[in-house]
Structure 1
Amino acid sequence: MRVNQSSFRDKLNYVQLSRGDVFFLCLCLTKVKEAFPVEFSEECMHQNPEFVKLLNELSQHVCPTGVSKQVQTDLHQVSQHVCPSGVSKQVQSDLHQAEKELRYEKHPWLMNHILYTELEKLLLEAEIEVLEGAEPQHELEKLLLEAEIEVLEGAEPQHGKQFYSMLQDHFTTIKTGDYLNCCPDPGSKVRLLGLTPEVILEQNTHMQNLPYIEQKLIPLIEEQLSKKCDKLLDYYNSTHDDIGSDLTVGQGSQLPNVIEVYRQKIDDEREQLKKELRRQDAQFKAYYATLLDSMHLLEELVSKYRLRNQSQHDSVMAEWMMMKFDGFCLKIRVLELEIMIETYTFETTKALQKIRDHLDVALAEATKKRTQLQKLLETYQSVGMGFDDLVKEYGRLKEEVENKQWALSELKQSESSADGQT
């Protein structure tokens, strides 16, 4: 807040500052504003002169970024020997040199691998077309026909498939030599069955025809690779049109640069995406911290202002609920009385009275009988424990008498039946 000079004089009567002190504080305030991104008014300067001096002393040892000047100097010295990734520049240089040597050594192998793959693909397509009995639509089949003519003219073997046969045999011989190294150690001289690549090549009867094979296959492989390069260039350059072979060859020679630019663009976008993710993460953390602060503030406001009258509010709500509960109880009682009036009429009351009289008589008789039985039980219990034995003995004797009576009746029946038979 900015105020005029007269207001300063009115407000600063309690601060005893000389003109020299005021001038010194103004200089300190200027240095503080230059060193730190803070808003410090003249009013605050006059109210807190010691704080201004403290900030001035601090500005001599701390950079605007919040790091001490000594640490800033050390970081600058370290940055001269360390890359931003944290690796020393010497190690980074050695790493770049190793990558360069790796690319240099890998380049011939990749070229040979491409030629090997293309040759294998041509042989496979030609074999599939021969097995299917199709017309010679592939360039290799046309070469077979041309080879037949040339072989006939040169008095060579007279079969049209001779070219394909010697090409397949030569390719198989080369592949067989790769399987001889059965030992995992590259420096080992152990070979499968004791064979060497030289021995395998000596068994190839078509070595003298190798120049002829190369002469016929090189243009075909170059054509296939040119088509693939055109397709790859069309993918990376969508504005490319088929406007001439010279231009296509010129653009094809620039294909590595196009791919490198495209790859660099992807790397830049990936780095930008990482920065954006870090920024969003920091922003999320800031939003989360702000949300937590807001929640704490809301809890404080609720506990300070709302909960102060919560007890009174709860008591009023409790009284209201009690009154409402009493009202419901009265309504239920009225409903109960209405149901009883509708259920128990004058005639129903007389019938219920008669039923009650009958039940009272039955209850009196049952009570009297219960009393008699209870007295009898008490009499039995007064006899003691021997009464139970007498009851058991009586039951046993009664059972024996019944058994003997049954046996006598059976004997009488058997005697009467015997007399009748005689």
Structure 2
Amino acid sequence: MSNGPESTNVSSLGKGDSLHHQVLASFPLCDMTEEDLTQSPQFCKLLATLAQHVDRTGLTATLKTELDKAEQKLQSQRRHWLRSESLHRGLQEMIQDHCVRKHHTTFYETMEKCLLVVKCTRLLDPSSTTNQDQPFILGLNPQQVMELMPSEKNVLRMKQSLPRELEKHLKKSVGVSSPTTKNESEGLKNTKLSHLSAQLDKERKRAEILKETCQENTVLLQRQTQLYLSELTKCIQLLQSLILDHRLKIQTDLDRKKLDYFEGKCELVLQKIKTEMVGIQLEMYTPDSIAAHRKIREILESELKACQEEKQSVESKLASFEILGKEFVTLAEEYSRLRREIETKNWALKEFTQYKTK
């Protein structure tokens, strides 16, 4: 039973993409996208139902009405305060202007004393938020300060002349008169001035509406930027996949060409190395050195051949000796010992002979 009205309200807003657009339009300040609403349909329905009870800023009708009333009351109090403040500042400017010009008249003296006495009375008068038992400043009370007011006769004259003098001062301080207002009557000018606050309120509201529109446009621009970036990311990913597929197809031919190139380059380097080696040999070996090397080679080869022949003969003799057995080894060792003794005695005899000759 509880789902009947809710489904009816949601169906009245729309279905599918139209519902998403209406929800996004109803909550422009929320950072949401259609993808978020698509992934959360129940949340989308909740927002669609909630949109019928709140405005674009998220306020209910009752709260909006109370807020408007509070805003009107605030504006009324603000206008009242601005009116009093502008009047007070205008009076102070008038007093300062005549003090500078040294025009000491009874009117301005009376007005200055009245303002000063009222200001002091407010400072001495304790408010409801202060302690009533607090001692007065300099032992004075508001009644004593009020005794310093000018005479009633002068105050009455000042009040009678105040509107006229204040009007003159305001016209003089503004000092701007358009061609269209020169021929207007004083009543019409006063009427326009009375409607000036209302016009300012209209302009302020218009500025606020434009500010809200600007904020909504900013949020919309951010959402569109996010969508654009997401689509751009998808396009980049698709382009990367296409580039990868194309690269894999031509990778074999590219590798083969690279291999042929490196093989040719290696062959060229080897030929260059051989050329450098031949050049070094040509610089190092002259015809005379080559002829000498050839002669040395022939001599070494002949000596090597003679050594090899001697080796073969020794090996054949050694083989024939090994046939005789262990007795021949004993005789050979005895023969070697005798040979060493003979050589030793010959050396000693030679040395003795040389010593004897000396």
CA distance, structure 2, for counterparts of residue 128 and residue 335 of structure 1 = 107
Task: Tell me the residue number matched to 1:201.
Answer: 146
Of 244, 262, 265, 2:183 maps to 244
Say if 2:114 is the partner of 1:170: yes
Task: Tell me the residue number matched to 1:133.
Answer: none
Q: CA deviation at 1:95?
A: 2.6
Task: Tell me the residue number matched to 1:186.
Answer: 129
CA distance, structure 2, for counterparts of residue 105 and residue 202 of structure 1 = 32
Relative to 1, partners in 2 of residues 1:241 and 1:311: Cα closer, same or farther, differing over 3 Å?
farther
Q: How many residues align?
A: 251
TM-score (ref. length: structure 1): 0.47
Aligned CA RMSD, in angstroms, stands at: 4.6
CA distance, structure 2, for counterparts of residue 167 and residue 125 of structure 1 = 13
CA displacement, residues 124-172 of structure 1 (integer Å, 9 cap, x when unaligned) = 2333334xxxxxxxxxx4xx5xx5xxxxxxxxxxxxxx54444333322
Ranges of 4+ aligned residues in structure 1 off by more than 6 Å: 67-77, 227-230, 328-338
Is this contact kept in 1: 2:107–2:157, CA < 8 A? no
Of 211, 224, 238, 2:156 maps to 211
Task: Tell me the residue number matched to 1:313.
Answer: 254
Is this contact kept in 1: 2:91–2:166, CA < 8 A? yes
CA distance, structure 1, for counterparts of residue 231 and residue 237 of structure 2 = 10
CA distance, structure 1, for counterparts of residue 101 and residue 209 of structure 2 = 46
Task: Tell me the residue number matched to 1:125.
Answer: 97
Is this contact kept in 2: 1:230–1:248, CA < 8 A? no
CA distance, structure 2, for counterparts of residue 336 and residue 209 of structure 1 = 128
Task: Tell me the residue number matched to 1:116.
Answer: 88
Q: CA deviation at 1:200?
A: 1.2
Relative to 1, partners in 2 of residues 1:214 and 1:66: Cα closer, same or farther, differing over 3 Å?
closer
CA distance, structure 1, for counterparts of residue 143 and residue 117 of structure 2 = 11
Task: Tell me the residue number matched to 2:245.
Answer: 304
Is this contact kept in 1: 2:110–2:155, CA < 8 A? no
Is this contact kept in 2: 1:170–1:206, CA < 8 A? no
| Alignment gaps of 5+ in structure 2 | 1-10, 21-37, 287-358
SS for the counterpart of 2:129 is: coil
Task: Tell me the residue number matched to 2:4.
Answer: none
Q: CA deviation at 1:293?
A: 0.7
Letter of the 2:258 counterpart: M
CA displacement, residues 254-290 of structure 1 (integer Å, 9 cap, x when unaligned) = 3233223322322232222222212221221121111
CA displacement, residues 361-408 of structure 1 (integer Å, 9 cap, x when unaligned) = xxxxxxxxxxxxxxxxxxxxxxxxxxxxxxxxxxxxxxxxxxxxxxxx
Is this contact kept in 1: 2:124–2:136, CA < 8 A? yes
SS for the counterpart of 1:96 is: helix
SS for the counterpart of 1:245 is: coil
Is this contact kept in 2: 1:229–1:252, CA < 8 A? no
TM-score (ref. length: structure 2): 0.54
Relative to 1, partners in 2 of residues 1:301 and 1:98: Cα closer, same or farther, differing over 3 Å?
same
Say if 2:209 is the partner of 1:268: yes
Is this contact kept in 1: 2:113–2:149, CA < 8 A? yes
Relative to 1, partners in 2 of residues 1:128 and 1:106: Cα closer, same or farther, differing over 3 Å?
same
Say if 2:195 is the partner of 1:254: yes
SS for the counterpart of 1:179 is: helix
Relative to 1, partners in 2 of residues 1:253 and 1:93: Cα closer, same or farther, differing over 3 Å?
same
Is this contact kept in 2: 1:180–1:191, CA < 8 A? no
CA displacement, residues 172-201 of structure 1 (integer Å, 9 cap, x when unaligned) = 222222322577x63643463253333211
Task: Tell me the residue number matched to 1:283.
Answer: 224
SS for the counterpart of 1:63 is: coil
CA distance, structure 1, for counterparts of residue 100 and residue 121 of structure 2 = 25
CA displacement, residues 42-75 of structure 1 (integer Å, 9 cap, x when unaligned) = xxxxxxxxxxxxxxxxx99x83535799999977
Is this contact kept in 1: 2:117–2:149, CA < 8 A? yes
Is this contact kept in 1: 2:121–2:145, CA < 8 A? yes
Relative to 1, partners in 2 of residues 1:187 and 1:89: Cα closer, same or farther, differing over 3 Å?
farther
Relative to 1, partners in 2 of residues 1:313 and 1:227: Cα closer, same or farther, differing over 3 Å?
farther
Task: Tell me the residue number matched to 2:347.
Answer: none
Q: CA deviation at 1:205?
A: 3.9
Identity among equivalent positions (%) equals 19
Task: Tell me the residue number matched to 1:92.
Answer: 64
Greater Rg by CA: 2
Of 2, 15, 30, 1:63 maps to 15
1:246-395 aligned within 5 A = 246=185, 247-314=188-255, 316-317=257-258, 319-320=260-261, 323=264
| Alignment gaps of 5+ in structure 1 | 1-58, 131-140, 148-161, 235-239, 347-422
Task: Tell me the residue number matched to 1:419.
Answer: none
CA displacement, residues 335-354 of structure 1 (integer Å, 9 cap, x when unaligned) = 9999xx99x9x9xxxxxxxx
Is this contact kept in 2: 1:230–1:252, CA < 8 A? no
CA distance, structure 2, for counterparts of residue 317 and residue 179 of structure 1 = 97
CA distance, structure 1, for counterparts of residue 234 and residue 195 of structure 2 = 58
